[in-house]
């Protein structure tokens, strides 16, 4: 078994279709009044909320192409896969970068680090990036109703509150988003276009039917159709298509107007049933696809002329929407797609798995793994889905896409998951990455059970995989002796057999555990090997972490040159692969900080060590948190900030206390304590550039600390949890080197932070 | 793996008459058209199934008139 721990997943083609701003068709019916009101709106947010088929997207697209609109648009068409917060945010940033390539880069750097949340980390950076950009722009989130993930709703709500004046946010949706719209309305910050606004009036309906569709209806016929559809765009569109090519307009309109059948039910099937059998069949079969291209449709439907059919549908103004300007990718109108899928389900359900299977193969060959897994699962081809997940989950994990991986696995039947040891281990990994150690335990046990009956099934990799995971689990838990024994067992199990796919990640953890366990030489050998394997596998995270460990060992040995070089290696990897916000970069920062401190560049050392502690705290590895805090404590002491050093010492101590076996950290803690006890009291504090050090979120908390508000009230004001406020407050105190609120305020005033 | 549990019966009234083509479309809901409206009668496990069904109606462009819980069914699945 090999894992393709290859390049990060690249989905340039599909990703680009999501950012394409739909182009108006020739003969599009202009909604001049609505566009005028959008142009004139000086609000922060525009909400376009109306039923499917109301013409929301067309309106926004017309607005975008209006010559009076000078702002650039960043556009993203959301789909259900965007419920992964990281994917969502990646998409939004990619949309913004169609305006300016470096817009949002600092938000992007923080996005792929586990432990960061959209709301607390990425969003404040994005707000800063937008404010720094300074130019007016419009960000459109189309099809926002597909979003269910609460993290995303929260983040958007906060974005709305803090949007820089030059930026304008547009949300187009079938259901109002869960945010306090009432407050925005009351403050006059919301422009709303709703169903009633989008309804065509009689004149518009006539212009559409006669000029756009090319019918020749009299006023009474237009009035009848307008009355029956109530000016609903999709209803008029379907009516137009039904009437095209018919001679008996009058009769058709009379019977439609006189019927009480639901509009799509009546007209949709009328249109569908009138298509030539060949085309109808094509429409039904290709409806399993969310996006359509000629080659993909040909593979799925078996119709070689698929490309021509798509072009014809586009020319005839029927059913499809172009997703790029090259006429390669299309999708069906949402409403029509629902109808086609339902009809497919009703008429030839037995064919559906085969259609999905073909789509899965096509996407797999095209390198679009997410789509391939989705279709394999929909086909009921769980073996194929499992194979794809096993091969590709790690590359997605490296990009922070835990939610996507979890989504793949959660769509499989539970029984299938618990019977597959690799999936169980993947679930366990997700637990490690999200800090759910109870989950890790459960899934590691399940993996063991799943492996037992089938001994022929690549036993060495699996057993060693379980042992590697246990090692990581123990390491995170702060039990270095058990981490060492689990790690060693993993290596032993592999002896003579194929290397386990877990090795690139298990090896650094064994090396680091050995280091904290005091076995320096073993640690160095293991980590050197770990760096080699990780680099060979393109596992940047593991390479960075292991290099950081080597730097720490070299430093402890007194080899400053090698320590500096190793730390620089690690930080270069971090820089190149956006891992600078990952907790595993803390070790190399800690070593760099110590080297700076030795060179007497105390201010720089303090900044770097503060950062080492800040990123370590995003992870759950208490050992690395304690290590960086002890170093920070040391430098604060040298800077004469005695109280502050004391407080940081207490934090370090509680981190060490959380560890079942903290290894050599116990001795370090004692040393720090002795140093503190004999240290002279503070003489003078040195200045530090706090504006770099306090995060945007912390600054907003700091501003509210000036008021009379309680922490709970501050939490309410900022729409954050009380716990988050407490964490921010604690960090503010620590960073400012103060112990109380009043002190924080006076210190902040002194530093002109507020 | 799913324990038998009671289900809630809902009557969801939508605008327009829905044809029998939609018989299987909405979580097995039975369709009863009357007076230009259609009542969908569905036995659902919980609220999230209900919201799923309402979203599906929304995605078909169907207009909602009312939703009522009308009683429990205690039969196992």
Q: What pLDDT does A686 receive?
A: 45
Contact A265 B63 (CB under 8 A): no
A418: closest CA of chain B, how far (Å): 13
- Which chain A residue's Cα is nearest to B20? A265
Residue A125 pLDDT > 90: no
B38 touches chain A (CB under 8 A): yes
User: A508-521: buried (b, 16+ CB within 10 Å) or exposed (e) per residue?
Assistant: bbbbbbbbbbebee
Element (H, E) at A463: helix A459-477
A349 touches chain B (CB under 8 A): no
Q: What pLDDT does A7 receive?
A: 32
Q: For residue B58, give the nearest of A52, A234, A263 by CB distance.
A: A52
A335 touches chain B (CB under 8 A): yes
Q: What range does the domain containing B52 cover? A: 7-65
In a domain, B29, yes or no: yes
Residue B11 pLDDT > 50: yes
- The least confident of A8-17, A186-195, A317-326, A390-399 is A8-17
d(CA A580, CA A104): 15
pLDDT band at A342 (very low <50, low <70, confident <90, very high): very high
pLDDT one-digit tens code per residue, A92-111: 999 999 999 889 888 887 77
Residue A597 CA neighbour count, 13 Å, CB half: 22
B4 touches chain A (CB under 8 A): no
Mutate to test the interface with B, among A262, A272, A273 (most CBs of B within 10 A): A262
Q: What pLDDT does A679 receive?
A: 63
A680 touches chain B (CB under 8 A): no
A415 touches chain B (CB under 8 A): yes
Residue A137 pLDDT > 60: yes
Are A171 and A44 in contact by the 8 Å Cβ rule? The answer is no
- Pairing outcome for strands A329-332 and A320-322: antiparallel
Three-state SS for B9? strand
Contact A415 B16 (CB under 8 A): no
Residues of B in contact with A264 (CB under 8 A): 60-62
* φ, ψ of residue B32 in degrees (nearest 5): -125, 100
Q: What pLDDT does A515 receive?
A: 95
In a domain, B1, yes or no: no
pLDDT band at A459 (very low <50, low <70, confident <90, very high): very low
Q: What pLDDT does A6 receive?
A: 31
* φ, ψ of residue A306 in degrees (nearest 5): -55, -45
Q: What pLDDT does A505 receive?
A: 77
Contact B61 A414 (CB under 8 A): no
Contact B21 A343 (CB under 8 A): yes
Q: Could you tell me which of A382, A484, A466 has the C-alpha nearest to residue A428?
A: A466
Contact B21 A342 (CB under 8 A): yes
- Angstrom CA distances, A609 to A341, A579, A612, stand at 57, 17, 5
B75: closest CA of chain A, how far (Å): 24
Q: What pLDDT does A682 receive?
A: 44
Domain count, chain B: 1
B28 touches chain A (CB under 8 A): no
DSSP per position, A258-327: T--B-HIIIIIHHHHHTS-HHHHHHHHHHTT-SSEEHHHHHHHH--TTHHHHHHHHHHTT-SEEE-SSSS
Residue A582 pLDDT > 60: yes
- Which chain B residue's Cα is nearest to A52? B61
In a domain, B58, yes or no: yes
Contact B24 A346 (CB under 8 A): yes
Q: What is the CATH number of the domain that holds B49?
A: 3.30.70
Q: For residue B21, give the nearest of A175, A265, A338 by CB distance.
A: A265
Residues of A in contact with B53 (CB under 8 A): none
In a domain, B71, yes or no: no
B37: closest CA of chain A, how far (Å): 8
The alpha carbon dihedral of A261, A262, A268, A269 has a sign of: negative
A343 touches chain B (CB under 8 A): yes
Residue A116 pLDDT > 80: no
A511 touches chain B (CB under 8 A): no
- Which chain A residue's Cα is nearest to B24? A346
- Which chain B residue's Cα is nearest to A54? B61
A188: left (phi over 0), alpha (psi -120 to 50) or beta: left
Residues of B in contact with A338 (CB under 8 A): 59-61
Q: Could you tell me which of B21, B18, B12 has the C-alpha nearest to residue B55?
A: B12
Are A193 and A173 in contact by the 8 Å Cβ rule? The answer is no
DSSP per position, A618-685: TS--HHHHHHHHHHHHHHHHHTT-HHHHHHHHHHHHHHHHH-SB-TTHHHHHHHHHHHHHHPPPP--P
Q: For residue B61, give the nearest of A335, A345, A346 by CB distance.
A: A335
Contact B15 A342 (CB under 8 A): no
Helices (H), A318-458: 334-347, 352-365, 369-378, 382-398, 402-410, 414-419, 421-434, 437-451
Number of residues that this document lists for chain B? 77
d(CA A696, CA A692): 9
Q: For residue A262, give the nearest of B24, B58, B62 by CB distance.
A: B62
Q: Could you tell me which of A510, A541, A547, A542 has the C-alpha nearest to residue A526?
A: A510
pLDDT band at A498 (very low <50, low <70, confident <90, very high): low
d(CA A55, CA A294): 26
Q: For residue B61, give the nearest of A51, A260, A345 by CB distance.
A: A51
In a domain, B17, yes or no: yes
pLDDT band at A12 (very low <50, low <70, confident <90, very high): low
- Which chain A residue's Cα is nearest to B63? A51
Three-state SS for B71? strand
pLDDT one-digit tens code per residue, A467-492: 887 888 888 878 999 999 988 888 88
pLDDT band at A400 (very low <50, low <70, confident <90, very high): confident
In a domain, B75, yes or no: no
- Which chain B residue's Cα is nearest to A233? B61
- Which chain A residue's Cα is nearest to B22? A342
Q: For residue B16, give the nearest of A51, A53, A261 by CB distance.
A: A261
Are A111 and A46 in contact by the 8 Å Cβ rule? The answer is no
Residue A278 pLDDT > 80: yes
- The least confident of A63-77, A526-540, A618-632, A704-718 is A704-718
In the DSSP assignment, the letter for residue B22 is G
Q: Could you tell me which of A641, A620, A615, A647 has the C-alpha nearest to residue A630?
A: A647
A684 touches chain B (CB under 8 A): no
- Which chain A residue's Cα is nearest to B14? A262
Contact A335 B60 (CB under 8 A): yes
d(CA B11, CA B29): 9
Residue A397, judged by CB atoms within 10 A of its CB (0-12, 13-18, 19+), counts as buried
> How many angstroms separate the first and last alpha carbons of chain B?
12
- Which chain A residue's Cα is nearest to B64? A51
Question: Can you tell me the ipTM of this complex?
Answer: 0.84
Residues of A in contact with B60 (CB under 8 A): 52, 264, 335, 338-339, 342
Section A663-669 average pLDDT: 92
d(CA A113, CA A86): 10
A535 touches chain B (CB under 8 A): no
Residues of B in contact with A415 (CB under 8 A): 1
A265: closest CA of chain B, how far (Å): 7
In B1-77, which ranges are E strands?
Answer: 7-15, 30-34, 37-44, 64-73
Mean pLDDT for chain A overall:
87
In a domain, B74, yes or no: no
Contact A174 B58 (CB under 8 A): yes
In a domain, B72, yes or no: no
pLDDT-above-90 percentage for chain A: 53
Q: What pLDDT does A83 receive?
A: 94
* Number of A–B residue contacts, CB under 8 Å: 65
- Which chain A residue's Cα is nearest to B33? A261
B59 touches chain A (CB under 8 A): yes
Residues of A in contact with B62 (CB under 8 A): 262, 264
Residues of B in contact with A263 (CB under 8 A): 16, 61
Q: What pLDDT does A9 receive?
A: 37
The order of strands in the sheet holding A329-332 is A292-293, A329-332, A320-322
């Amino acid at each position: 078994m090999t894992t393709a721990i290859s390049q990060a997943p690249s989905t340039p083609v599909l990703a680009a279709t999501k950012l394409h701003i739909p182009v108006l068709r020739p003969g599009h019916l202009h909604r001049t009044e609505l566009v005028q009101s959008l142009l004139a709106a000086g609000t922060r947010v525009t909400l376009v909320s109306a039923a499917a088929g109301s013409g929301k997207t067309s309106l926004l697209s017309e607005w975008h192409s209006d010559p009076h609109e000078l702002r650039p648009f960043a556009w993203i068409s959301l789909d259900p896969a965007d419920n992964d917060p990281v994917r969502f945010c990646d998409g939004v940033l990619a949309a913004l970068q169609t305006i300016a390539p470096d817009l949002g880069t600092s938000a992007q750097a923080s996005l792929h680090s586990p432990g960061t949340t959209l709301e607390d980390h990425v969003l404040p950076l994005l707000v800063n990036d937008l404010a720094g950009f300074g130019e007016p722009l419009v960000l459109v989130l189309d099809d926002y109703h597909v979003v269910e993930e609460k993290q995303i709703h929260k983040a958007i709500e906060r974005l709305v509150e803090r949007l820089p004046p030059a930026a304008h946010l547009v949300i187009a949706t079938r259901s109002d988003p869960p945010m306090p719209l009432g407050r925005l309305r009351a403050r006059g910050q919301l422009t709303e276009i709703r169903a009633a606004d989008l309804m065509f009036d009689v004149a518009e309906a006539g212009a559409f039917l006669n000029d756009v569709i090319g019918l020749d209806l009299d006023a009474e016929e237009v009035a009848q159709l307008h009355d029956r559809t109530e000016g609903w765009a999709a209803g008029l569109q379907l009516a137009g298509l039904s009437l095209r090519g018919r001679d008996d307009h009058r009769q058709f309109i009379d019977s439609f107007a006189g019927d009480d059948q639901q509009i799509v039910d009546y007209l949709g099937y009328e249109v569908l049933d009138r298509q030539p059998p060949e085309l109808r069949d094509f429409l039904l079969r290709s409806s399993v696809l969310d996006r359509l291209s000629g080659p993909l449709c040909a593979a799925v439907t078996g119709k070689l002329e698929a490309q021509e059919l798509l072009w014809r549908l586009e020319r005839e103004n029927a059913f499809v929407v172009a997703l790029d300007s090259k006429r390669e990718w299309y999708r069906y109108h949402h409403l029509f797609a629902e109808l086609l899928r339902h009809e497919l389900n009703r008429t030839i359900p037995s064919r559906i798995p085969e259609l999905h299977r073909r789509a899965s193969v096509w996407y797999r060959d095209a390198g679009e793994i997410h789509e391939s897994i989705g279709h394999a699962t929909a086909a009921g081809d769980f073996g194929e889905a499992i194979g794809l997940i096993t091969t590709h989950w790690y590359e997605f994990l490296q990009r922070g896409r835990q939610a996507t991986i979890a989504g793949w696995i959660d769509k499989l039947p539970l029984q299938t998951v618990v019977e597959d040891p690799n999936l169980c281990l993947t679930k366990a990994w997700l637990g490690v990455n999200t800090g759910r150690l109870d989950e890790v335990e459960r899934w590691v046990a399940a993996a063991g059970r799943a492996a037992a009956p089938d001994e022929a099934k690549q036993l060495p990799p699996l057993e060693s995989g379980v042992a590697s995971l246990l090692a990581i689990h123990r390491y995170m838990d702060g039990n270095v002796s058990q981490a060492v024994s689990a790690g060693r067992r993993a290596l032993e199990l592999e002896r003579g057999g194929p290397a386990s796919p877990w090795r690139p990640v298990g090896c650094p953890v064994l090396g680091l555990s050995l280091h904290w366990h005091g076995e320096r030489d073993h640690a160095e050998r293991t980590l050197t090997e770990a760096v080699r394997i990780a680099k060979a596998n393109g596992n940047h995270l593991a390479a960075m972490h292991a290099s950081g460990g080597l730097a720490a060992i070299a430093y402890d040995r007194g080899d400053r040159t090698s320590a500096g070089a190793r730390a620089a290696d690690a930080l270069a990897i971090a820089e190149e692969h956006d891992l600078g916000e990952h907790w595993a970069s803390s070790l190399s920062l800690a070593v760099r900080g110590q080297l700076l401190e030795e060179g007497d560049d105390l201010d720089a050392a303090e900044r770097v060590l503060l950062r080492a502690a800040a990123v370590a705290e995003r992870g759950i590895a208490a050992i690395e948190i304690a290590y960086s805090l002890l170093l920070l404590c040391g430098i604060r002491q040298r800077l004469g900030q005695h109280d502050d050093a004391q407080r940081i010492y207490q934090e370090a101590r509680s981190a060490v206390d959380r560890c079942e076996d903290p290894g050599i950290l116990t001795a370090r803690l004692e040393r720090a304590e002795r140093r503190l006890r004999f240290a002279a009291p503070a003489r003078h504090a040195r200045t530090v550039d706090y504006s770099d050090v306090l995060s945007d979120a912390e600054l907003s908390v700091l501003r509210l600390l000036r008021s009379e508000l309680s922490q709970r009230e501050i939490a309410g004001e900022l729409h954050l949890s009380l716990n988050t406020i407490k964490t921010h407050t604690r960090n503010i105190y620590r960073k400012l080197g103060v112990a109380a609120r009043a002190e924080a305020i006076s210190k902040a005033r002194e530093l002109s932070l507020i | 793996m799913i324990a038998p549990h009671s289900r809630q019966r809902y009557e969801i009234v939508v605008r327009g008459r829905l044809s029998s083509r939609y018989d299987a479309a909405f979580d097995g809901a039975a369709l009863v058209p009357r007076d230009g409206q259609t009542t969908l009668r569905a036995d659902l496990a919980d609220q999230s199934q209900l919201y799923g069904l309402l979203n599906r109606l929304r995605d078909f462009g169907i207009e909602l008139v009312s939703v009522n819980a009308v009683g429990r069914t205690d039969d196992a699945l």
